């Protein structure tokens, strides 16, 4: 996979939806300063699952199946990003 496919920009609205889920599920409050790092790591994560856009990932994440199966994994990816930045 080419690097430019990994650095797709996540729309502010999609990022805010992810931030809300992360806060609800883990209590972690993410700032906008982590947006690029989070987008990069999430893109790699969901590309491994055959999903190649943030819109498609958010659709899956907010589906009944995705909420049940994916939220814990997504929060884990984000906590790793936060740990790398600190």
What are the residue ranges spanned by the domains of the chain? 3-85
pLDDT in tens, 11-53: 888 888 888 888 898 888 887 788 888 888 888 888 998 998 8
For 51-83, the pLDDT digits (tens) are 988 888 888 988 998 888 888 888 888 888 777
- Whether residue 7 is predicted with pLDDT greater than 70 in this model: the reply is no
Cα separation, 42 vs 46, in Å, equals: 6
In 3D, which of 84, 79, 85, 67 has the Cα closest to residue 17? 67
Q: Does the structure show a pLDDT above 80 at 6?
A: no
How many angstroms separate the CA atoms of 38 and 10, rounded? 9
- pTM for this entry: 0.71
Place of tokens 């939806």: 17
Cβ neighbours around 83 below 10 Å, total: 8
Whether the Cβ atoms of residue 75 and residue 85 lie closer than 8 Å to each other: no
């Amino acid at each position: 996979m080419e690097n430019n496919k990994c650095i797709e920009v996540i729309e502010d609205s999609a990022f805010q939806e992810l931030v809300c889920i992360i806060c609800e599920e883990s209590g972690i409050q993410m700032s906008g300063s982590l947006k690029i790092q989070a987008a990069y790591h999430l893109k790699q994560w969901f590309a491994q699952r055959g999903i190649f856009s943030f819109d498609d990932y958010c659709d899956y994440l907010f589906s009944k199946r995705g909420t049940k199966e994916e939220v814990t994994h997504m929060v884990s990816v984000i906590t790793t990003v936060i740990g790398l930045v600190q």
